[in-house]
Structure 1
Amino acid sequence: MNRALLLALLLLLPSATWAERLVLSVSQPEVLIASNFTGADLVLFGVVEGRPPGEHAYDFAVTVRGPQETFVTWRKSRVLGLYVNTDSRTFVDSPAVLAVATNKPAEEIAPPDVLRREQIGITRNIFVQRVGTDYADVVPDDPFRLAFLRIKKADGLYAEEPHGVTLLSPAVFRTSFRIPASAPVGAYEVTVKLFEGGHLLASAVTSVTVRKDGYGQQLAAFAEQRGWLYGFGVALGALFVGLSANFLFRRD
């Protein structure tokens, strides 16, 4: 009798007492870059747990952010008949790689204010610019911001797929994302956000590490840890190559 009463009380509890959680698994948590590296395609699986089975209309937004970097965009103006760089804007700590995938267009997942707050979509991400002595993210149609996004997309470093998440069941999804050949080494953060009815229910984060393989990794580490010695070695090597070429091809 006590068990039946307890079960009845649990069924009468509001649905908010059930807390969803996301369990993520990436196909390749570490990507090794060798001399013949042409990019890598990774697959991410996710499962919603913690809520009784039933009719759910879950939506998923997956965002991959690469290592942070500083990027400068320029504005050209015509001066004395020539187009020259006359103004610039520096983007501080922006992701070198940014990929966004959702199971349907973001506008159908949540209201605009929620999408902006959760940075769902490339244009809704925050890109801090240095404007004089100030740091801020300006209006979405700022020409420097638009130029920054246009360059990144043209280079294949920023991409967005409004139907890039496949639902294998209402609570299981699959998506893929690409690490471009020009992607920098470092940690790539993979964030998944779970929505239902326009409300954020849960989020989870995993990561992928991109690093150079073998000799390339050792050389990169040496250059970072002993920059002056690495620079001296490069200069000495260039001098040796130049002297050797002069000796071999000189005319008597």
Structure 2
Amino acid sequence: MRRRATCSAIGLALLLGAAFIADDARAEHLIVSVSNHRVTVTPNYSGEELVLFGSIERDGDTPIPRAGYDLVVTVSGPRIDMVTRRKERRFGIWVNADSRQFLKVPAYLSTFANRPLDKIAAPDILRRQQLGLNNVLLTQRVGPDYADVVAGDPFRRAFIRLRTEQGLYRENTSAVTFLTPTLFRTGIPLPAEVPIGTYTIGIKLLADGALITKTETAFEIVKVGFEQFVATAARQHGLLYGVATACMGLMAGWMASIVFRRD
């Protein structure tokens, strides 16, 4: 009896192993690349657009979904702390009435897709996978707590609106183009005000409303020339940089007083 039970357990294990192997053999894989992995910011930098391109690699037994693939690309820049303030008119003047602090949120955030997100997947999947500006995790300090809030929160909406107006947050659901059923490309616009740092590109492949696979790549934005020298001096020699800046201000004021002095 024990021997029969042991044989049954071994058979079940072999069956599960074969199922996992078959499932892996049918899995799709993403191969992606970006046109430039290192963007240099010079004094005359006015923005740039990178190109992300890639392909969906399939094994011979893996069919293309009848409705085709969907692709969502999320570009996330360096994380910083920011504050959003709400102003109110009191006694005829505008004053800061309330504020909300956002903790370690992306300084740059963009979402690109091949069609509207609500056509790609159900709301719970979009939220779970953080697809779209309304679904990305934006941690806030709410009193003594730290948490994300609902998409309709006024501070959250105002924060996304302000970053969008600056060109640092964007969502374009027609930016991903499928050149063939398995080849795709999209542009990544970088405004002139883009912050320096490391940027992560997350690519998620979906079909029939479900996530199939995902991958990541990255690029870096750096300053070069005199701007890099100033930034490095301010970061590594803060005291000397402050003294030098103050002396330059005093010198400029003294020279202006001589030039515009009335005799």
Fold match (TM-score > 0.5): yes
Aligned to 1:100: 111
Distance 2:255 2:49 in 1: 43
Write out aligned runs for 1:157-196 (5 A).
157-196=168-207
Read off the aligned partner of 1:224 and give its amino acid letter: R
Distance 1:21 1:232 in 2: 55
Read off the aligned partner of 2:35 and give its amino acid letter: S
Aligned to 2:243: 232
Distance 2:70 2:152 in 1: 28
Distance 1:145 1:16 in 2: 40
CA shift at 1:50, angstroms?
4.2
Write out aligned runs for 1:141-156 (5 A).
141-156=152-167
Distance 2:71 2:166 in 1: 26
CA shift at 1:54, angstroms?
3.6
Instruction: Verify: 1:51 aligned to 2:59, yes or no.
Output: yes
Q: Which has the larger radius of gyration?
A: 2
Q: Residue 23 of structure 1: SS of its match in structure 2?
A: strand
Write out aligned runs for 1:14-163 (5 A).
14-15=22-23, 17-52=25-60, 54-56=63-65, 57-163=68-174
Write out aligned runs for 1:206-221 (5 A).
206-221=217-232
Distance 2:157 2:202 in 1: 24
Aligned to 1:3: none
Read off the aligned partner of 1:37 and give its amino acid letter: Y
CA shift at 1:241, angstroms?
1.6
Read off the aligned partner of 1:43 and give its amino acid letter: V
CA shift at 1:15, angstroms?
4.8
TM-score (norm 1): 0.90
Distance 2:160 2:59 in 1: 39
Deviations 1:106-143 (A, max 9, x none): 11212211110111111111111111221111111111
Read off the aligned partner of 1:211 and give its amino acid letter: V
Distance 1:58 1:249 in 2: 69
Distance 1:233 1:83 in 2: 36
Read off the aligned partner of 2:256 and give its amino acid letter: A
Read off the aligned partner of 1:230 and give its amino acid letter: Y
Read off the aligned partner of 1:222 and give its amino acid letter: A
Read off the aligned partner of 1:130 and give its amino acid letter: R
Q: State the Cα RMSD in Å.
A: 1.7
CA shift at 1:51, angstroms?
2.6
TM-score (norm 2): 0.86
Aligned to 1:205: 216
Read off the aligned partner of 2:103 and give its amino acid letter: V
Distance 2:239 2:57 in 1: 52
CA shift at 1:31, angstroms?
1.0
Which residues of structure 2 form unaligned runs of 5+? 1-17
Aligned to 2:8: none
Which residues of structure 1 form unaligned runs of 5+? 1-9
Matched residue count: 241
- Is the 2:25–2:59 Cα contact (8 Å) retained in structure 1? no
Distance 1:152 1:248 in 2: 42
Distance 1:63 1:50 in 2: 23
Distance 1:137 1:51 in 2: 40
Q: Residue 127 of structure 2: SS of its match in structure 1?
A: helix
Read off the aligned partner of 1:55 and give its amino acid letter: I
Distance 2:94 2:240 in 1: 40
